[in-house]
Amino acid sequence: MKRVIYHTEYFDNNGQFLREEEQEAYFNTLPQDSSQLEIEPPIGCRLLQPKLVPSKLTQEQWEYLKAKKPDSELKYASLCEDGNGGYSIYAIYEQWLGYEKNGEISSVYPIAVSFGEKEEVMLEMHVIPMDYIAGEEHITRWDEALFEGTDISRTENYIKIISSPDPAQDKQVIIHHNGWTISGIWETMTQQPDGLFIYHCRNSLLVFDITINISLAPSA
């Protein structure tokens, strides 16, 4: 289960703190009745396509927000001016309610990679999601999860998707599994109402799809 915290702080035109507001929500699986999802996507299920968003925040403000909730991961923050000299800082934090072997908090999703137009070869595993910034690139990475009793740890296998302002690097896909590495680019990404996100990928040799099912995440 994922806990998401929406935090906003308000400041006057002299930079003096005025007030703060905070709301939180919990997300685990999609509702059983998904008949309306074709009309309206479920709240809290963000697309897995990474996006780069310019920010007016200073490094000091960013570090302040990170330190404010050390038990959660700061996923997004922005500074918005109100037109009268004042401003507000908006932040989104995420906290995974489940435990890995090393003490980190995380969740696990099933993922499948199908190769060929007729899905002749299939790679399936459970993965731990992670997003991070490397220079100007945004990395979405899914590390394979290893279950040992009630403990969860990461293996050396992973799937990585890169979002970059450099067209030559953008939309790169890298799959590393048991010493083998397959790379390519994703061309389109579709979201289905049953909780499936599908990246349609290719390289010079073959086409392949990466399918992650957020509706089948094991409960914490």
> Residues 81, 113: one domain?
no
pLDDT given for residue 135 in this prediction: 78
> Residues 212, 184: one domain?
yes
Pick the residue with more confidence: 81 or 39?
81
Strand partners, 91: 7, 77
> Residues 88, 16: one domain?
yes
Instruction: For residue range 146-198, list pLDDT tens digits in order.
Output: 877 667 788 899 999 988 888 888 999 999 999 899 999 999 888 877 678 88
Region 109-126 average pLDDT:
83
Give domain status of residue 130, yes or no.
Answer: yes
Tracing tokens 């290719």 back to the chain, one arrives at 202
Residue 60 pLDDT grade (very low, low, confident, very high; cuts 50, 70, 90): confident
Region 54-79 average pLDDT:
84
> Residues 199, 128: one domain?
yes
> Residues 77, 170: one domain?
no
Give domain status of residue 211, yes or no.
Answer: yes
Give domain status of residue 103, yes or no.
Answer: no
Region 16-41 average pLDDT:
62
Give domain status of residue 137, yes or no.
Answer: yes
Residue 26 pLDDT grade (very low, low, confident, very high; cuts 50, 70, 90): low
Checking if the pLDDT of 30 tops 60, the result is no
Q: In sequence order, what are the residues at sequence separation of 6 or more whose Cβ sits closer than 8 angstroms to the Cβ of residue 83?
A: none
Domains in the chain, number: 2
What does the DSSP 8-state code read for residue 218?
P
> Residues 142, 211: one domain?
yes
Give domain status of residue 102, yes or no.
Answer: no
> Residues 79, 32: one domain?
yes
Give domain status of residue 11, yes or no.
Answer: yes
> Residues 8, 42: one domain?
yes
Evaluate if pTM is beyond 0.85.
Answer: no
Separation of alpha carbons 72 and 5, rounded Å: 9
Give domain status of residue 104, yes or no.
Answer: no
Domain end call among 40, 67, 96: 96
Checking if the pLDDT of 35 tops 70, the result is no
Pick the residue with more confidence: 184 or 117?
184
Cα 191 from chain centroid (whole Å) = 14
Question: Tokens standing for 198?
Answer: 């599908």
Domain end call among 42, 66, 96: 96
The b/e string for 67-92 (b: 16+ C-beta within 10 A; e otherwise) is: eeeeebbbeebeeeeeeeebbbbebb
Separation of alpha carbons 130 and 107, rounded Å: 10
Separation of alpha carbons 142 and 131, rounded Å: 9
Q: What is the mean pLDDT of the chain?
A: 78
Give domain status of residue 101, yes or no.
Answer: no
Domain residue limits at 72: 2-96
Domain end call among 50, 73, 96: 96
Checking if the pLDDT of 80 tops 70, the result is yes
Region 52-60 average pLDDT:
70
Checking if the pLDDT of 106 tops 80, the result is no
pLDDT given for residue 36 in this prediction: 43
